[in-house]
């Protein structure tokens, strides 16, 4: 039995998001979530070409870093962590998977067959693999052969139009341990509402041909209640949350509580401290700015404070603004 089959209730996952779901943000989210409502977290996607390259490996390894403190939260919450890889050459998938299995401490490997970004699909990778079903299967098989870890796939419903039934049937032939279906086509990017009817189509197909393979739906989930409704309407085994976490970092804490501005702003500072402690100069301070928005909403004066935070250049300026804001209100 692989870990995807061990959860008692529906599966709740935090999506892989580049420059967002590093070890620091994952730890922050794990630390404020109910263990029952956050079961799996994903690392940012990592290029198999990069990982297999002697110099490139150093450049991409931050994507696979799991800090000791994140590990503690994973254990405390009994949550699993999955590395996600992308590329186009099955041999490189095989090699990269061996590296991840031997040198890192992940519970699973996920293959990105969903990213729609032009410069990536031009390399016949990610969502472009939907056009190359045999290559997609070869990649899954090559990855599975390199590891004892469960190998899952995250994908979309088609290229220009939904082709869910045929595409998911093709993937299931290679027996991935789970499939996350982002309910949009490549063409839809993330600009149109997700079409959860497609998740239902995938779940029904799975019931017929691969009952043991969880189907995780993805797209526009905004709360646990929303997730539970989508699960019951589609027959999916769980949901993956992406941008919803930007609107509500406490989303996986269920039932929801009152989150005061003190709680939000202290969390912002904790996140910033952990970011600086973990990455030092390795990552730019600018990356933190996209998170300021997450913590500055739902209280009076939030947007003014946010605008000021965006002008900051270091931790001291942030701490000063936060304490001024807390004192004056």
Ligand X SMILES: Cc1cc2nc3c(=O)[nH]c(=O)nc-3n(C[C@H](O)[C@H](O)[C@H](O)COP(=O)(O)O)c2cc1C
Show which residues are catalytic.
115
Binding string, 161-200, against ligand X, x = CB under 6 A?
---------------------x-------x---x------
Within 210-254, residue ranges assigned H as helices are 224-234, 244-247
CB of 197 to ligand X, least distance (A): 16
When the beta carbons of 253 and 263 are compared against ligand X, the nearer one is 253
Work out which of 10, 12, 13, 16 binds ligand X, going by CB under 6 A.
16
When the beta carbons of 17 and 309 are compared against ligand X, the nearer one is 17
Does the footprint of ligand X cover residue 226 (CB under 6 A)?
Answer: no
Binding string, 31-60, against ligand X, x = CB under 6 A?
-------------xx---------------
Q: How far apart are the first and last CA of the chain?
A: 54
| Phi and psi, residue 45, nearest 5° | -65, 145
When the beta carbons of 97 and 265 are compared against ligand X, the nearer one is 97
Does the footprint of ligand X cover residue 115 (CB under 6 A)?
Answer: yes
Q: How far is CA 300 from CA 184, 244, 263, 320, in A?
A: 36, 22, 14, 18
Work out which of 11, 13, 14, 15 binds ligand X, going by CB under 6 A.
15
Distance CA 275, CA 250 (A): 19
Distance CA 38, CA 252 (A): 6
Stretch that binds ligand X, among 10-18, 163-171, 308-316, 319-327 (CB under 6 A): 10-18
70 close to 27: Cβ distance less than 8 angstroms:
yes
Does the footprint of ligand X cover residue 121 (CB under 6 A)?
Answer: no
Binding string, 131-160, against ligand X, x = CB under 6 A?
-----------------------x------
When the beta carbons of 17 and 168 are compared against ligand X, the nearer one is 17
The size of the chain, in residues, is 329
When the beta carbons of 220 and 265 are compared against ligand X, the nearer one is 220
The CB density around residue 282, as the number of other CB atoms within 10 Å, is 8
Does the footprint of ligand X cover residue 241 (CB under 6 A)?
Answer: yes
Does the footprint of ligand X cover residue 112 (CB under 6 A)?
Answer: yes
Beta-carbon contacts of residue 32 (< 8 Å; ≥ 6 apart)? 249, 250, 252, 253, 267
**DSSP result, 303-327:** HHHHHHHTT--SHHHHHHHHHHHHH
Nearest residue to ligand X, scored by beta-carbon proximity: 242
267 close to 28: Cβ distance less than 8 angstroms:
yes
Q: Is the peptide bond before 147 cis (omega within 30 degrees of 0)?
A: no
When the beta carbons of 99 and 240 are compared against ligand X, the nearer one is 240
Q: What 3-state DSSP class applies to 282?
A: coil
Residue 298 token pair:
């739902």
Stretch that binds ligand X, among 24-32, 89-97, 136-144, 218-226 (CB under 6 A): 218-226
Residues 72-91 that bind ligand X (CB under 6 A): 84
Distance CA 183, CA 283 (A): 32
Residues 288-327 that bind ligand X (CB under 6 A): none
CB of 113 to ligand X, least distance (A): 9
Residue 146 Rama label (left phi>0; alpha psi -120 to 50; beta): alpha
Q: What 3-state DSSP class applies to 103?
A: helix
Q: Which residues bind ligand X (CB under 6 A)?
A: 15-18, 20, 44-45, 84, 112, 114-115, 154, 182, 190, 194, 218-221, 241-244
């Amino acid at each position: 039995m692989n870990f995807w089959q061990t959860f008692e209730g529906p599966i709740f996952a935090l999506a892989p998001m580049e420059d967002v779901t590093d070890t620091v943000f994952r730890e922050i989210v794990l630390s404020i979530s109910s263990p029952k409502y956050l079961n799996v977290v994903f690392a940012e996607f990592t290029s198999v070409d990069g990982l297999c390259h002697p110099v490139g490996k150093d450049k991409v390894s931050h994507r696979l870093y799991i800090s000791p403190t994140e590990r503690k939260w994973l254990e405390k919450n009994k949550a699993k962590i999955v590395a996600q890889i992308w590329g186009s050459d099955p041999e490189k998938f095989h090699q990269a998977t061996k590296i991840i299995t031997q040198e890192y401490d992940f519970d699973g490997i996920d293959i990105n067959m969903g990213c729609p970004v032009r410069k990536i699909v031009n390399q016949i990778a990610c969502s472009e693999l939907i056009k190359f079903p045999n290559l997609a299967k070869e990649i899954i098989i090559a990855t599975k052969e390199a590891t004892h870890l469960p190998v899952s796939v995250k994908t979309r419903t088609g290229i220009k139009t939904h082709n869910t039934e045929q595409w998911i049937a093709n993937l299931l032939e290679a027996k991935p341990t789970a499939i996350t279906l982002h309910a949009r086509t490549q063409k839809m990017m993330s600009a149109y509402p997700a079409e959860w009817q497609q998740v239902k189509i995938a779940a029904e197909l799975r019931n017929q041909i691969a009952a043991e393979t969880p189907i995780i739906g993805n797209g526009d989930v905004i709360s646990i209640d929303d997730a539970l409704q989508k699960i019951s309407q589609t027959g999916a085994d769980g949901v993956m949350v992406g941008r919803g976490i930007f609107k509500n970092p406490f989303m996986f804490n269920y039932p929801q509580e009152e989150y005061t501005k003190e709680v939000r702003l202290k969390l912002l500072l904790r996140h910033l401290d952990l970011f600086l402690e973990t990455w030092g100069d390795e990552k730019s301070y600018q990356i933190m700015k996209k998170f300021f928005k997450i913590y500055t909403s739902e209280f009076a004066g939030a947007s003014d404070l946010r605008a000021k935070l965006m002008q900051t250049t270091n931790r001291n300026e942030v701490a000063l603004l936060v304490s001024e804001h807390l004192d004056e209100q």
